[in-house]
Structure 1
Amino acid sequence: MGVDVGAGVAQDRGVQVPEVASPSTARRRAVATRRGRGRGWGAVRRLVRLGGVGAIVGLVGLGAGCGGLAVPPDPAVETTSPTPRLPQPVLAGLDVELAQARLDWERRVVQVRVANESGVDVTVTEARLTTPGAQGVAVSARPRPVRDGVDRDLSVALGAARCTDEPRREVGTRGAVPGSPDGAASSSEGGDASALVELDVVDDAGRTGTWRGVPGDPNGLLARIHGEDCAAATVGSGARLTLSDTVELGEVDGRTVGSVTLRLDPVPSGPRVQVLQVDGTVLLTPLGGAPSWPVQLDSSDGPAEVTLTFEPARCDPHAVAEDKRGVFLGIRTRVAGGDLPVFFLTPSDELRGAVHRFIGTACGWPDS
């Protein structure tokens, strides 16, 4: 028996015989063919929903005997190849530690430094840093290539400081973290076992993996940031400390000197705050070259202020031109009887400019 599949060809016992038709008949059949195709695909889709993969196999067999009826792929049953994974030795060839540029100190931004000694060029698509001293997860979502034999810094902004007495979350020793899906290589010395870095990595062949471990922190960066954050917050609960916006010029033993005013205003109902010492900077030093000014400010005595007189610590112009931290004075305090880590007062833009002009005048620079 012949089967009409709407292609304008009659089949009988496997022999194809051209069919003779008038032009009007041909046009009607062409229209019927297009409509039949639409209805045919609808039937295929309904059959797939009812019969699943078995229905597709049956239709393919039927189509093979009926002039090659094709069945469109169904996304529900289509399979994809798994993403290839990076070999463990490649991940083990990555080393991670923390650093901070001077310009990022005030902004509380740190660098996740990735050293690649794996023998394979990779790209870090995302870096994540979690530390108990800051809220949330610090993320760098900008993909950065890290070629073999190269170090690359990925900057992440820390969340708000966490200064409560919450227990520290121990995640293991420096380097590998138990339970990591891809493992982790040992990082540099000095890592904080409560900090955690995760790196999503891909190589040029499209293989992916995640480095997960404790970063090296050779300079105690996280502890220093946490100490500064929480000391400033504790002092702020009992007193408001401010620096003047101007530098007053004077003369001592024929030398031009400058001075700024540090003021303390108590916070009502706050703890007792004592300011004990103010540290010099790379640009400013107390008269005579001492490293700091001894200070006696006490919130229990009410509002008070002290004058800090200084001279330039150096007169080379490039030191001022490249200045990042030269006007940040370190403050050492005692709150409610307990000594706190040093923290730094942020100067106003007006004070920074005034200090730079003072150095030019005191050092005798032209046009200063």
Structure 2
Amino acid sequence: MHLSTRSGRALVAALTAALLGGLAGCAASSPPPQTSASATAGSASEPQLTVDVRQTRTDVDGDMVTLLVSNTGSEPFTVTDVQVDSAFFATAPHWVGETVVPAAQAKALRVPFPDAVCGADRAVDGAFDGVATVHARVQDSEFDLTRDASDSLAALARLTGVECALAELDATALIALDENLRVEEEDGHPVALLDLVITPSGSGSGSFVIDTAGSTVLLRQDPDTVRQLGVEVTAAGSATSVALRYVPSRCDPHAVAEDKVGTRIPLTVTFADGTTADIVAAASSTLKGRIFEYVGQYCGW
């Protein structure tokens, strides 16, 4: 498990990841949307649509992003291609397929979260500058449309900023949850111990501190407080591990059956330049199954 899904490993950035220092927060007010279109043969009217870029709770676990295409007109249209270009993205999120968007409704088109622009080329003013190109069809008419894309949750500066922070962290150390779940009896109830393993890369001069570990909707710290860690990590340092103690947050079978983020342990890290990011250590499918089994045994299901 690694903090960057770009390298195909299982530790990914948190939905609520935040950056302090050098990265701005919410987007500034945007000017009226710019639009343009070209059409092929046919007599149908141009589709009326908007495109919003967002990451939902469902998107987080698969490191996806949603291109939300809304039909603001009175006639349905078919979308076959949507791409959003932005100075935030090193690679544009791009959806290809075919789906009908009914009048006054929207379709959520999910694609992999794009690589972020980092370093000196990164735009840090927080204002999303996305431009969407959409190929749509109405009856026998084809349209190539250009629209300003929105960031209605004002989250893309934050999310892409975390991707950049994770790239730096990725070069410094591997952080993983061990797949073995240990259970200890304490005060008459079983406590789950999750081992957070930190393995430095052995090259470079990167460093950061793992400040805290928190609770989730499925697991709470034992005792029920944010765990202060203060683990200093350097690229040239030695491997280490920290045991995190958890008990179930709730004994509700539906919490397990419908769980999406309950086995993603939130961590906060601080880099040498003072930048802070919230990340998660995501359990592998094997560890996730063991956690679910532990919760069931604890709750007596």
Partner in structure 2 of residue 342 of structure 1: 278
Is 2:254 the counterpart of 1:318?
yes
Deviation at 1:192, TM superposition (A): 4.6
Partner in structure 1 of residue 25 of structure 2: none
Which ranges of structure 1 fall in alignment gaps of 5 or more residues? 1-81, 171-190
- How do 1:103-114 residues align onto structure 2 when only pairs under 5 Å count? 103-114=58-69
SS in structure 1 of the partner of residue 161 of structure 2: helix
- Percent identity between the two aligned chains: 24
Q: Deviations over 1:275-309 (max 9, x none)?
A: 1112221111112432x321121125633221100
Partner in structure 1 of residue 116 of structure 2: 161
Which ranges of structure 2 fall in alignment gaps of 5 or more residues? 1-39
Deviation at 1:357, TM superposition (A): 0.8
Greater strand share, 1 or 2? Answer: 2
**Match of residue 144, structure 1, among 76, 99, 105:** 99
Deviation at 1:203, TM superposition (A): 0.7
Q: Is the 8 A contact 2:181 2:291 kept in 1?
A: yes
Q: Is the 8 A contact 1:297 1:305 kept in 2?
A: no
TM-score with structure 2 setting the length: 0.78
Q: Number of paired residues?
A: 260
Amino acid across the alignment from 2:287: L
Partner in structure 2 of residue 84 of structure 1: 42
Partner in structure 1 of residue 12 of structure 2: none
Is 2:292 the counterpart of 1:356?
yes
- How do 1:36-115 residues align onto structure 2 when only pairs under 5 Å count? 83-84=41-42, 87=45, 90-91=46-47, 93-115=48-70
Q: Distance in 1 between matches of 2:207 and 2:190?
A: 37
1:118–1:229 distance in 2 versus 1, CA, 3 Å: same
Deviation at 1:111, TM superposition (A): 1.5
TM-score with structure 1 setting the length: 0.64
Partner in structure 1 of residue 201 of structure 2: 267
Q: Is the 8 A contact 1:192 1:214 kept in 2?
A: no
Deviation at 1:358, TM superposition (A): 1.0
| Greater radius of gyration (CA) | 1
Deviation at 1:86, TM superposition (A): 5.3
SS in structure 2 of the partner of residue 275 of structure 1: strand
Q: Deviations over 1:1-37 (max 9, x none)?
A: xxxxxxxxxxxxxxxxxxxxxxxxxxxxxxxxxxxxx
Q: Is the 8 A contact 2:93 2:112 kept in 1?
A: yes
1:298–1:85 distance in 2 versus 1, CA, 3 Å: farther
Greater Cα offset, 118-127 or 301-310: 301-310
Q: Deviations over 1:286-344 (max 9, x none)?
A: 12432x32112112563322110011111111111111111111221122242332122
Moved over 4 A (4+): none
Q: Distance in 1 between matches of 2:193 and 2:89?
A: 36
Deviation at 1:117, TM superposition (A): 2.5
RMSD between superposed Cα atoms in Å: 2.5
SS in structure 2 of the partner of residue 198 of structure 1: strand
Q: Deviations over 1:32-90 (max 9, x none)?
A: xxxxxxxxxxxxxxxxxxxxxxxxxxxxxxxxxxxxxxxxxxxxxxxxxx623754xx4
Amino acid across the alignment from 2:42: P
Partner in structure 1 of residue 133 of structure 2: 198
Amino acid across the alignment from 1:201: A
Q: Deviations over 1:189-247 (max 9, x none)?
A: xx95322222111112x223233223232223423431332222111222221211122
Q: Distance in 1 between matches of 2:233 and 2:69?
A: 46
Greater helix share, 1 or 2? Answer: 1
SS in structure 1 of the partner of residue 120 of structure 2: coil
